[in-house]
Structure 1
Amino acid sequence: MNFKELLTEDRAVSPVIGVILMVAITVILAAVIGTFVLGLGDQVSESAPQASMSFDFNIGADSGDYVNITHEGGETLDNSSISVDADSTLTYQSTPSQWSDTISAGDTGVFTGVSNGDTVRVIWTNPAGGSTNTIARATAPQ
């Protein structure tokens, strides 16, 4: 056996690399197409909106215990997908509030019934799938 000939022989390298590349491309294409055919591609792009909220608690005030939640900036929110939750039962006050069908920067919602130490959360519910995300939270002073 001539070792010099064995080390210089490279005829089989090119077909092997070609087969490996073809298999890799096929696997990648199958994964991408399968993701979108099964509908997983739509769920990946659905994420909670980015919005900044501020909380102004008025507890022990003469006019009752309430919290003002103001949309400070970020994406405009659809009011039908937003809910406000707390440890106590909150009531939305429509008269001084500015929240309508959409909630944009500068709009304020007023909620009564907040108590000392309550954690108030603004929750977004995905209209396509029902998953929820807390986009803002604050705790009332003690």
Structure 2
Amino acid sequence: MPPAGALLLTLAAVIALAVHLIEPPHRHRGDQLPGLTYEAERATPRAPLALVVTSVQDNGPAAKADIAAGDVIDRIDGRPIASVASVGRAMRSDARKGPLLHIRHAGESRYKHLPSAHAKEPHVAKDTRRRG
């Protein structure tokens, strides 16, 4: 291959890698967990996914569920995460109540219910004085 052709292929590969690196960790709205961003990782090629929380929206559903950056989500509704698409399926199937997440952080593990982004806050009356 002529040197110019090799240079063009290398340049194309570098550009493709740069585009891949600057894309958000999840591209499709249906694959998101409300109130947080994550990066999907696999320990080995055939292992289930682990979602590493990279940021949490202030006062969002994840923050209210006490989920923090650095937490690792390795199960949704008791099942290992097979793919990023399965995250979207879990969110759609649990649209009203939100999914139950198994979270690992600093050697500890816990389950947290992640409220749906569309879940309504419970109504609390502003004026609770008793009459009479």
**TM-score under structure 2 normalisation?**
0.30
Whichever of the two has the greater Rg, that structure is 1
